[in-house]
């Protein structure tokens, strides 16, 4: 079936949003297992002109499946209205051309976004997505060849590294220890991931965060060890659809400085405050478009020099 909301599926999938790894590519389609009202369902999407051609396989109704798909790809967000907003701001006017059809790629599972965002810190897109995919295969639930992301209560009991696994199991050779977090390539982030799992398994109901104000949710996420403002904003934007979030790092700082402040050196926290105040409810989308515009237009290469 055709879902008539404009989107560039490939751009959205490959944009490095820390909600989840890109879906599995099967020919011209992207597919993944999605939890729809506690029923595991295979979603299959492909580009059809400017729109999505959507099929699903599972014991759920059409209305339920479409609603879930629309959330994941943020298909109810009015791109045309957003592009008019960009066009009315000289600093942003070129972005709709370079990033046309780019949408938020929201997490079906907010806990996966928490761990993905932690994993992405000081990491490449290729490495963190590989790590998350390996974690799904080790501890997730298998469904028709696909794997869900493990629940916090499961990941809480994962071994940190080969030494932890060797000392806590009956394995007779440490070289055989492969069922641990560091084996997935997460490095120093492993203790942060296990602590996050502990918090959301035993202390904080993750579903309550979506009901909080942005400021309350931000402070709650910051309580996770190893999570700073950038990662917290990524979690809130990609995991909970807080569009007022403006994830800011050194690259966003350079882009904002170039576009708005004549290249003046700025602190990242000031850039975050500027983005939230300047762009309001569009802050998350503007940040997403800024980054990909800088990559595609050559601005990123210019700023590197």
Reply yes or no on whether 230 is catalytic.
Answer: yes
Identified catalytic residue from 138, 230, 243, 253: 230
Instruction: Provide CB contacts within 8 A for 22, sequence distance 6+.
Output: 13, 14, 30, 129
Residue pair 218/232 in contact (Cβ under 8 Å)? The answer is yes
Burial of 47 (0-12, 13-18, 19+ CB in 10 A): middle
Residue pair 221/234 in contact (Cβ under 8 Å)? The answer is no
Q: Which is it for the CA torsion 300, 247, 154, 210, positive or negative?
A: negative
> Alpha-carbon distance 199 to 279, whole Å?
32
Sort residue 211 into left (φ over 0), alpha (ψ -120 to 50) or beta: alpha
What tokens appear for 237 in the block? 């934007």
> Alpha-carbon distance 238 to 242, whole Å?
8
Phi, psi of 246 (to 5 degrees): -135, 80
The catalytic residues are: 230
């Amino acid at each position: 079936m055709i879902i008539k909301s404009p989107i560039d599926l490939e751009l959205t999938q490959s944009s490095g949003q820390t909600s989840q790894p890109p879906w599995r590519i099967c020919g011209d389609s992207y597919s993944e297992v999605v939890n729809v009202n506690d029923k595991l369902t295979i979603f299959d999407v492909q580009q059809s002109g400017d729109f999505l051609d959507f099929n699903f396989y599972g014991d759920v109704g059409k209305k339920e499946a479409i609603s879930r798909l629309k959330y994941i790809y943020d298909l109810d967000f009015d791109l045309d209205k957003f592009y008019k907003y960009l066009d009315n701001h000289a600093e942003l006017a070129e972005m709709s051309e370079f990033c046309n059809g780019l949408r938020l790629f929201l997490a079906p599972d907010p806990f996966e976004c928490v761990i993905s965002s932690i994993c992405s810190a000081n990491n490449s897109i290729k490495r963190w997505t590989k790590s998350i995919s390996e974690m799904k295969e080790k501890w997730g639930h298998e469904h028709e060849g696909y794997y869900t992301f493990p629940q916090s209560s499961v990941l809480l009991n994962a071994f940190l590294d080969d030494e932890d696994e060797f000392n806590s199991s009956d394995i007779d050779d440490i070289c055989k220890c492969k069922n641990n977090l560091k084996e997935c390539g997460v490095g120093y982030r492993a203790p942060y991931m296990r602590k996050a799992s502990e918090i959301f398994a035993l202390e904080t109901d993750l579903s309550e965060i979506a009901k909080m104000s942005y400021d309350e949710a931000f402070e709650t996420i910051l309580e996770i060890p190893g999570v700073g403002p950038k990662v917290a904003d990524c979690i809130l934007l990609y995991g909970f659809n807080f569009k007022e979030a403006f994830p800011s790092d050194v690259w966003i700082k350079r882009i904002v400085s170039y576009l708005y402040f004549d290249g003046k050196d700025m602190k990242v926290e000031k850039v975050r405050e500027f983005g939230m105040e300047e762009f309001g409810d569009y802050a998350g989308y503007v940040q997403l478009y800024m980054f990909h515009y800088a990559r595609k237009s050559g601005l990123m290469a210019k700023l590197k020099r």
